[in-house]
């Protein structure tokens, strides 16, 4: 076993990718000006989803579950897009000018 691989712990089970968990979409993220509490809240939720999906992708790949890894990766890509959109919105003060990547 790799030293980086953490064995399952009863208090933190290695859960398979759950396609039924809600994701924040760009349509649900309310357009707002920089510093708007709602936009910051939406960014916080999107960031949490990115972390959760990255963890699920890693866990699926670590256990060799190719289907779950691909599904989690696809969801992760969408959530990264949502989070990036929200960051762009905050940085551009809502004028829809994308940041340079």
Please tell me the predicted confidence (pLDDT) of residue 98.
55
What mean pLDDT comes out for the span 58-81? 96
Asked if residue 1 is part of any domain, the answer here is no
Residue range of the domain that includes 66: 37-91
Q: Partners of 9 in the beta sheet?
A: 12
Asked if residue 5 is part of any domain, the answer here is no
CB 57 within 8 A of CB 69: yes
Number of domains in the chain: 1
Asked if residue 12 is part of any domain, the answer here is no
Reported as a pLDDT band with limits 50, 70 and 90, residue 9 is: very low
Asked if residue 32 is part of any domain, the answer here is no
CA 86-80-76 angle, to 5 degrees, is 145
CB 25 within 8 A of CB 86: no
Asked if residue 100 is part of any domain, the answer here is no
Asked if residue 15 is part of any domain, the answer here is no
Dist CA 78 CA 36 (whole Å): 23
pLDDT in tens, 36-69: 888 899 999 999 999 999 999 999 999 999 999 9
């Amino acid at each position: 076993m790799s030293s980086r691989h953490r064995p399952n712990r009863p208090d933190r089970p290695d859960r398979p990718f759950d396609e039924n968990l809600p994701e924040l979409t760009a349509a649900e993220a309310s357009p707002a000006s920089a510093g708007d509490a709602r936009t910051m809240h939406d960014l916080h939720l999107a960031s949490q989803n990115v972390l959760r999906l990255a963890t699920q992708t890693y866990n699926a790949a670590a256990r060799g579950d190719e289907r779950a890894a691909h599904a989690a990766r696809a969801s992760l890509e969408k959530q990264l897009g949502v989070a990036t959109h929200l960051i762009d919105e905050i940085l551009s003060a809502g004028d829809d000018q994308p940041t340079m990547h």
